[in-house]
Structure 1
Amino acid sequence: MCVQLQYIRAVAALLVVYFHAILQMEKLNPDAWMTDYLFGKSGVDLFFVLSGFVMWITTADKPQTPAEFWWKRLRRVVPLYWTITLAAAFVALIAPQILKSTQFDMPHILASLAFIPWLNPSDPEGRMIAPLIVPGWTLNFEMYFYFLFGLCLLIPQRLRIAAITALIGGLFVLANLLPESTAGRFYGDTVIFEFVAGVLLGRVYKSGISFSPPVVALAVSLGFCLLLINDHLEFDLPRLVSIGIPAAIIIFFATAIDLPDLKRWRWLRILGDASYSIYLTHVFTLAGSRMVYPWVKAVVPSDTVIVGLMVLASAAVGLASYYLFEQPVGRFLASTGPKRERSMTTAGNA
């Protein structure tokens, strides 16, 4: 798989961390100049497009059953997410002041573990649809997409893109036609089509399209400029249009070149490997940063530097989680998976 996908994952994770670090700074010091530069939620859209892209290129011309596909996805997503969710629930029970946007609510906890869209009880307006770990709302979309994509593996490959598009599109229309409901609001969001865009881009990638390095560099740079500007200005447009299209442009051009794993960018690839851990653990790291802010501020008076330290600390904790938990657990679950999968893994390592 092209290494630039890992680079983009790293950038996406760091964008989300920066976004939440600025939100923390708004609470700690609203007058900090950096609070005027709030952006980074677009990292999520990069993840969504990447997800659709990866699902296509890892299943095209590689026969597998829906069960095999779902098992690979579950063993990748569930262990760390459930561990983090249960840890947050425990903290919310014994020390609720630490996690401001988390309440101990058993139905909400169970819905979070089951990837079911649920109103977050910590929202005073009662409108936020998010699990116990608020950034985990993206995983509810991911699991929804994985379920539908897995079903489409039963369809011949030549019809698969049309099938997943029709299935997601039909459920999107249904969600918007039904009476107001939590599930309808969630699954009726246009952001779900960012996965479809990723699938289409995966199909284009498999066709072998390529561009020269200068064209790729210019297009990716312009794509990121458009992504971050639209992210910051928050135009009154569907997220699919304002952020999803720039994200698709970035993925399209970034994958249209054969790029080696450059030694000087190896750190970015490593962060990309750990991007899932960084994404899930950074809420704890930033909560801890908020608690020690008064002491850090006495030593480091610059809030700009403090935000930088928040991002670095989040990356460090995420890397620790990746190497100490995500990787070992992933290897163990891979060894206990379906026999066919284990035999293929053994053959691939021979």
Structure 2
Amino acid sequence: MTTEPSQAMRPARAAQLQSIQALRAIAALLVVFGHAAHESETIAERIGLAPLHTSFLHSGGGVDIFFVISGFIMVHTSAGLFGQPGAWRTFLTRRIVRIVPLYWLLTSLLLIGSLFLPQLLNVPIGDWRHILASYLFLPSLRGGYEIRPVMALGWTLNLEMLFYLLFAAAMLLPLRRGMFALSCVLVALALIGAAFQPSQVQLAFWTQAIILEFLFGCLLALLYRQGFRLPAVAAAASVTLGLAALLKWPGVDDPSWLPQVLRLGLPAALIVGGAALYDGAAPRLVLPLAVVGDASYSLYLFHPFALRPLRDVWVRVVGTNLPLEVYMVVAVAVATLSAMLLYRLVERPLTIWFKRPSHRDGDTHRSIYPAA
């Protein structure tokens, strides 16, 4: 039985959630930047310009931030449900309602588009088994060499769904025992992957060490629940250090030999920890970012639909008339604005419509994407 937060605690909690929403925006924008940079390379090759140097940033770190946020939010919003009858069912229903409709809609749109504009695809669509696996969030080989669904970005959702299932199972126990069991399972999976390096597709995918990033977020949420807070200086230092670790510094060797969970996962944990555990009001910069964060799931999933046509339009219409730096700004802006429209016109109405039967339960969960 949980108690309602006091009036004094509610503003702090609201500020903390705004900070998390702002981080969702930053994480999604990092991913968009990385993919826009990739498209700029294609543009440069087609029109004969020198490519941009965007390798200074580990833009893929946005995914790691999403995974840590996911672990944090799941514990933060569901801690009071642990050990309650039927809680696991309520949790999974909320997650499915929140994640599946938009993903299935865009996957279907991609499949239809591939029939008419196959040239926009980097990798051809697989057979019916691969398509079915994509809809069911099951890891499957795409193109015979990479474990990706029809929508390549959906690989993160395949890991998310595994985490949700494990989290739901942990909810059968009281919070402490459930979180201990969840921690043991996640660590065991990562150790199996590191020790045996399985070749079976699903097992290889589900035993990646990156799954430990969900655990990082869970542990941060437990610290938050215990009342642990960071003063402004410590919180700012944590976020700054984490962001600095996502940059590639001149003269400093890139530790590519480290597994991603250490190379990018730990910086992501520092960033999320600094924002989530900060003991104070959210900075003003957080507010506009939080608005983008609301649409971060749409932004994560939809931005390739915006970037790929924009690339071809840019080659045909703009060409060498404007530098590629302008393309990068336009690409990020177009992806962001289109995603915010998609959120308002499609994602949000879909979510409201699908959750109506269980509306009496309420829904404090918010998307983690994207993500997460």
TM-score normalised per structure 2:
0.85
1:85 maps to 107
CA contact (8 A) 2:230 2:279 kept: no
CA contact (8 A) 2:64 2:264 kept: yes
- Which residue among 333, 337, 344 is the counterpart of 1:312? 333
2:117 maps to 95
Offset, 1:172: 3.6
| Distance (whole Å) between structure 1 residues aligned to residue 314 and residue 127 of structure 2 | 29
Task: Return closer, same or farther for 1:20/1:208 CA change in 2, 3 Å cut-off.
Answer: same
Task: Give runs of aligned pairs for residues 158-197 of structure 1, distance below 5 A.
Answer: 158-175=176-193, 177=196, 179-197=198-216
Offset, 1:298: 4.1
- 200-209 vs 213-222, which deviates more? 213-222
- Which residue among 30, 33, 44 is the counterpart of 1:15? 30
Instruction: Give the residue type in structure 1 aligned to 2:215.
Output: V
Residues 188-216 of structure 1: per-residue CA shift (max 9 Å, x gap): 21000000111111100111112221222
Matched, 1:108 2:126: no
Instruction: Calculate percent identity across the aligned residue pairs.
Output: 34
Instruction: Give the residue type in structure 2 aligned to 1:66.
Output: W
CA contact (8 A) 1:12 1:44 kept: yes
CA contact (8 A) 2:295 2:340 kept: yes
Matched, 1:213 2:232: yes
Residue correspondences, number: 337
- 263-272 vs 88-97, which deviates more? 263-272
Aligned Cα root-mean-square deviation (Å) = 2.1
| Distance (whole Å) between structure 1 residues aligned to residue 113 and residue 190 of structure 2 | 36
| Distance (whole Å) between structure 2 residues aligned to residue 262 and residue 221 of structure 1 | 14
Matched, 1:343 2:364: no
| Distance (whole Å) between structure 1 residues aligned to residue 190 and residue 230 of structure 2 | 34
| Distance (whole Å) between structure 2 residues aligned to residue 13 and residue 49 of structure 1 | 13
- Mind listing any 5+ residue stretches in structure 2 that lack a counterpart? 1-12, 364-372
Residues 69-108 of structure 1: per-residue CA shift (max 9 Å, x gap): 0001000100000001011111112221122234253221
- Mind listing any 5+ residue stretches in structure 1 that lack a counterpart? none
Instruction: Give the residue type in structure 2 aligned to 1:163.
Output: A
Offset, 1:333: 1.6
- 88-97 vs 163-172, which deviates more? 163-172
Task: Return closer, same or farther for 1:234/1:113 CA change in 2, 3 Å cut-off.
Answer: farther
Offset, 1:50: 0.5
Task: Return closer, same or farther for 1:94/1:105 CA change in 2, 3 Å cut-off.
Answer: farther
Offset, 1:233: 3.6
Task: Return closer, same or farther for 1:295/1:266 CA change in 2, 3 Å cut-off.
Answer: farther
Task: Give runs of aligned pairs for residues 213-252 of structure 1, distance below 5 A.
Answer: 213-229=232-248, 233=254, 235-252=256-273
Matched, 1:74 2:96: yes
- Which residue among 296, 320, 326 is the counterpart of 1:275? 296
| Distance (whole Å) between structure 1 residues aligned to residue 68 and residue 286 of structure 2 | 22
| Distance (whole Å) between structure 2 residues aligned to residue 118 and residue 146 of structure 1 | 19
